């Protein structure tokens, strides 16, 4: 479901969620081992009509599509320096200490950083996959999501920011449902009763 008002006003694309990232790899076998054994993804069925080697993985609500390079020798040199400002994908975790210990046990080199904002600390670990693509594991969810422009807030967005949102039951005698603006999932006028639920992937902040 999308924000139709924003689209009508020339806003962003009508997107719903992040589906997957694609990674071109020198060795499909090595990348499979890394993304499954280190990051915890699992293989899923891949369309059999593809005429090139690869693998589809899934976990944590997103997919990773591995693509075997046709000519691995022509790929850019593998990066050796771990630069936190480089392109990367980031994951949150239950315990950064456990992640750090496992990386040490597996012999995976990493760099550690800490960010402070208003007394809130975010710890970060950065490391490379077999082809030098950087992965981050962090406690970024410690920071609240503070939009810089007015945005509609829905139940799922509130839950994502660890804020509980409840709608008390109210007896309504008027047969016409009350209207509210900006309280729904897509920032449109919705009946007050419609705010009681927010189905999976049915909302978007823009």
Among candidate residues 70, 97, 136, 189, the one labeled active-site is 136
Are the beta carbons of 128 and 82 closer than 8 angstroms?
yes
Residue 107 carries which DSSP code?
T
Q: Within a 13 Å sphere around the CA of 60, how many CA atoms are in the beta-carbon half?
A: 18
What values do phi and psi take at 28, rounded to 5?
Answer: -60, -40
- In 120-193, beta strands by DSSP E: 120-128, 134-138, 179-180, 190-191
Is 189 labeled as catalytic in the residue annotation? no
N-terminal to C-terminal alpha carbon distance within the chain? 12
Q: What is the largest CA-CA distance in the chain?
A: 73
Asked if 135 and 88 touch (Cβ cutoff 8 Å), the reply is yes
For residue 146, the tally of other CB atoms under 10 A from its CB is 6
What SS3 state is found at 53? coil
Buried b (16+ CB within 10 A) or exposed e, 181-203: eebbbbbeebeeeebeebeeebb
| Residues belonging to the active site | 136
């Amino acid at each position: 479901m999308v924000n139709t008002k924003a689209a009508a006003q020339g806003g962003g694309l009508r997107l719903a969620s992040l589906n997957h990232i694609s990674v071109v790899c020198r060795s499909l076998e090595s990348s499979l081992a890394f993304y499954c054994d280190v990051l915890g993804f699992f293989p899923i069925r891949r369309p059999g009509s593809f005429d090139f080697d690869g693998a589809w993985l899934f976990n944590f609500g997103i997919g990773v599509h591995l693509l075997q390079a046709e000519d691995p020798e022509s790929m850019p040199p593998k990066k050796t320096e771990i630069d936190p400002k480089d392109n990367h994908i980031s994951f949150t975790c239950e315990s950064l200490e456990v992640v750090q210990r496992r990386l040490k046990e597996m012999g995976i080199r990493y760099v550690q950083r800490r960010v402070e904002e208003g007394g809130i600390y975010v710890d970060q670990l950065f490391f490379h996959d077999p082809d030098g693509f950087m992965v981050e594991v962090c406690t970024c969810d410690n920071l609240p999501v503070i939009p810089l422009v007015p945005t509609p807030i829905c139940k799922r967005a509130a839950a994502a920011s660890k804020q509980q949102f409840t709608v008390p039951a109210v007896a309504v005698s008027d047969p016409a449902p009350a209207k509210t603006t900006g309280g729904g999932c897509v920032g449109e006028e919705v009946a007050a009763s419609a705010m009681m639920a927010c189905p999976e992937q049915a909302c978007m902040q823009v």
